[in-house]
Amino acid sequence: MWVYEKKLQYPVKVSTCNPRLAKYLIEQYGGADGELSAALRYLNQRYTIPDKVVGLLNDIGTEEFAHLEMIATLIYKLTKDATPAQLEEAGLGAYYVNHDQALYYQNAAGSPWTATYIQAKGDPIADLYEDIAAEEKARATYQWIIDLSDDPFLNDSLKFLREREIVHSQRFHEAVEILKEERDRKKIF
């Protein structure tokens, strides 16, 4: 189903070790509106969505895994040279005690990722509106992390991800219109 290339979708860099920014980015790694949740949501919903838009969910769900890889790389780069004291100062002391510097799916507040983040109603239009909301929440989160960041390299990557969230939201809006048109079409037997 996939062809894996050993390169990121968009190059990621950071200026310096910054565990504080890594803590914020963890939200997009294992939070309710993060990349893992989005990827799993879309790839799950594709089984109950009409054929006219199933490819969209597959494409965007797959892209979300690429975004997850970018976020993981950024978190790694922001923490790889951090001392335990720096991690503790950034609010990652408990994280360090439990995981050292390994990546773990949790949100920025420290709550582990849970399948309850995944929504699937089985109504294609309702599911697509949920997807639009998820993309808009992810876009807002990226913007808020950019607002807190003074790292131009990190911000470049986050701006790319923020823009992809906007594109995904637009594509989901288009899919809703396709399905509404299909639903509202007069059927003559």
- Could you tell me if residue 119 is inside a domain? yes
- Could you tell me if residue 189 is inside a domain? no
- Helix/strand/coil for 106: strand
pLDDT at residue 71 in the model: 98
- Could you tell me if residue 11 is inside a domain? no
Known binding residues for Mn(2+) are 35, 64, 67, 135, 168
- Could you tell me if residue 8 is inside a domain? no
pLDDT at residue 5 in the model: 79
Rounded Cα gap, residues 9 and 54, in angstroms: 22
Low-confidence ranges of the chain (pLDDT < 70): 1-2, 186-189
* Residue 90, C-beta contacts closer than 8 angstroms, at least 6 positions apart: 19, 20, 22, 23, 82
**Each residue's pLDDT tens digit, 37-50:** 999 999 999 999 99
Known binding residues are 35, 59, 64, 67, 135, 168
- Could you tell me if residue 7 is inside a domain? no
Q: Domain of 123: which CATH number? A: 1.20.1260.10
Q: Give pTM, 2 decimals.
A: 0.93
| DSSP conformational letter for 80 | T
- Could you tell me if residue 140 is inside a domain? yes
Specify burial of residue 104 (Cβ count, 10 A radius: 0-12, 13-18, 19+): middle
Specify burial of residue 57 (Cβ count, 10 A radius: 0-12, 13-18, 19+): buried
Domains in the chain, number: 1
Known binding residues for Ca(2+) are 59
Residue 170 lies in domain: 19-183
pLDDT at residue 1 in the model: 62
pLDDT at residue 55 in the model: 95
